[in-house]
Amino acid sequence: MAENVYDAIVVGSGISGGWAAKELTEKGLKTIMLERGENIEHIKDYVNASKNPWEFPHRGGKTQKMIEDYPVLNRDYTLTEVNLNYWTNEKDCPYVETKPFSWFRGYHVGGRSLMWGRQSYRIGDIDFEANLKDGIAVDWPIRYKDLEPWYGYVERFIGVNGSIENLPALPDGDFLPPMEMTCVEKDVAARIKAHYKGARHMIMGRSANLTVPHKGRTNCQYRNKCWLGCPFGAYFSTQSSTLPAAVATGNLTLRPFSIVKSIIYDKDTKLAKGVEIIDAETNKTYEYFAKVIFVNASALNSAWLLMNSATDVWDGGLGSSSGELGHNLIDHHFRCGAAGRVEGYDDKYYYGRRPNGVYVPRFRNLNGEKRDYIRGFGYQGGSSRENWSRDIAEMNIGGEFKDALTEPGHWSMGLGAFGETLPYHDNKITLDKTKKDKWGLPVLNIDCEIRDNEHKMRKDMMADAAEMLEAAGVKDVHTYDGGYTMGMGIHEMGTARMGRDPKTSVLNEFNQVWDAKNVYVTDGAAMTSSACQNPSLTYMALTARAVDHAVKELKKMNFS
């Protein structure tokens, strides 16, 4: 076997790429995982993870130099000195915004699994059937029963905490013990349940943080510094979970600094043979060959890779025969909701910093309800006591003021909505061949925006939060809309969607590219609709399922 020949190639090492590598190697396939960025070694390279607040010179803030270097990252909370090295260099890796799109990228081993929000929810048949029922886009080619065992398989491995709730809108999972609500949250949840007579629920958030030791990993230490990298390995990341499992098989080769430029396509067999890469450090090109290729470069870059491949056969690239490659870009729209002050509970506080909050599963447009928009939204939220940054009336300067600020203030409680975005054909990415990145590769042009359905939904997203908080006795409730443009949800999806028909979808029911069956795309690109739940758990389940399929196909000699 030549040194550049493997059984399988995985493009990308993030949430889904790590899963592909683990599953392929555990099934005995010699696998190379190609990562475009640098290596970040578990624990050793989490350089800021154990620093105290005062050890950051700007206390976590951003400098003018950072704002100049990272204008996109600066659009949200994402720009901070605490983990700047985990975000992509915007000057080396530009893109074009026909309409505003905030693309927050992590180009390194582990990808955004290092910085992700860890919220982990299943999507159910309400979501899988939605496109068909609404007559929009295309029907998902799978249903919940197809993915259900794989959700459990993934949850049992990565460790997801949560409570069993038996809610139709949000399937339960195979959970570790849930985290605890604050006393305020417990009471607000009970009042919401009573007020809405069980039609709305506020439950404990489900997150990929370990509440008990799990598979050799330490449980959460409640520092709430996950996105710096966890020295305890207590949340799921490629580094803490899937990569060690893949390495343990002896079947994995990890190659950082490997920008996959194109998939090598064989017109005669109608299969992919391998990939061509550029070494990001030396600019030299290399080829790697394998029987099966998993594309997990993140939604936009996976589509980019397909667009750059087999262009001698299809102008628009591999998978473009459907006319849907790069189209139907979706995200979750958010940054709006409501918050208020909670009276009482002066004798209650909390210990530890919980890296998780409460969750309100979708309740709109269910059970026959019809709003002036379709689909729905969920809320993430939480309560806390105010700290020193609060305003204290009539006390402004001096010792009394200082001492008052050393005690916690009143409780407050907020809910922030995450709404489903519909897959519009015209929300699209294309290759901009006039602009090149540092390696001379064409960059993406992103052209998308939310529309009428989302704008109408946002009104409910604010008003319903206010109504629920008020119903629960929260005072001085105010709604907010912090402004949203696509991408800010960091849930890019849909650019190579699954479907039932090669004429209207890029991937089939097992995530195989219709035009090259040994190429699987199992990241956010595959999503036919977005639902309103955080999507990463679904990518993991789709990946594990697709690897199972790929290995069965290999055994049947279907890829040779």
Partner 1 sequence: MDRREAVTKVAWLLGGTVLGANLFVDMSCKPKAKKFNNEFDVDQVAFLDEVADTILPTTSTPGAKAAKVGAFMALMVQDCYTPEDQKVFEKGIKELDNASDKKFSKKFVELDPKQKTELLVQLDKEQKDYQSKKKPEEANHYFRMMKELTLLGYFTSEIGCTQALRYSAVPGRYDGCMPYKKGDKAWAT
Strands 8-11 and 31-34 turn out to be parallel
Q: What tokens were used for 469? A: 């908080």
CA atoms in the 13 A half-sphere facing the CB of 394: 0
Q: Which is nearer to partner 1, 204 or 277 (CB)?
A: 204
Q: Which is nearer to partner 1, 12 or 416 (CB)?
A: 416
Output the smallest distance, CB 487 to partner 1, in A.
Answer: 15
Q: What is d(CA 151, CA 145) in angstroms, rounded to the nearest whole number?
A: 10
Output the smallest distance, CB 40 to partner 1, in A.
Answer: 18
Output the smallest distance, CB 192 to partner 1, in A.
Answer: 17
Output the smallest distance, CB 388 to partner 1, in A.
Answer: 4
**Strand 258-266's sheet: what is its strand order?**
258-266, 271-279, 285-289
Q: Which is nearer to partner 1, 254 or 488 (CB)?
A: 488
Q: What is the 3-class SS of 244-305, one letter each residue?
A: HHHHHCCCEEEECCEEEEEEEEECCCCEEEEEEEEECCCCCEEEEECCEEEECCCHHHHHHH
Output the smallest distance, CB 113 to partner 1, in A.
Answer: 13
Output the smallest distance, CB 167 to partner 1, in A.
Answer: 19
* Interface contacts to partner 1, rule CB under 8 A: 50, 52-54, 57-65, 67-68, 71, 74, 77, 80, 115, 117, 119, 179-183, 185-186, 205, 220-224, 226-227, 334, 346-357, 380-382, 385, 387-389, 396-399, 401-403, 405-409, 416
Q: Which is nearer to partner 1, 9 or 181 (CB)?
A: 181
Q: Which is nearer to partner 1, 334 or 377 (CB)?
A: 334
Q: What tokens were used for 195? A: 């007020």
Nearest to 115 by CA among 78, 161, 75: 78
Q: What tokens were used for 74? A: 């600066």
Output the smallest distance, CB 88 to partner 1, in A.
Answer: 17
Assign residue 283 a region: left if phi > 0, alpha if psi is -120 to 50, beta otherwise?
left
Q: What is d(CA 93, CA 85) in angstroms, rounded to the nearest whole number?
A: 15
Q: Which is nearer to partner 1, 114 or 260 (CB)?
A: 114
Q: Which is nearer to partner 1, 160 or 310 (CB)?
A: 160
Q: What is d(CA 417, CA 461) in angstroms, rounded to the nearest whole number?
A: 6
Assign residue 440 a region: left if phi > 0, alpha if psi is -120 to 50, beta otherwise?
left
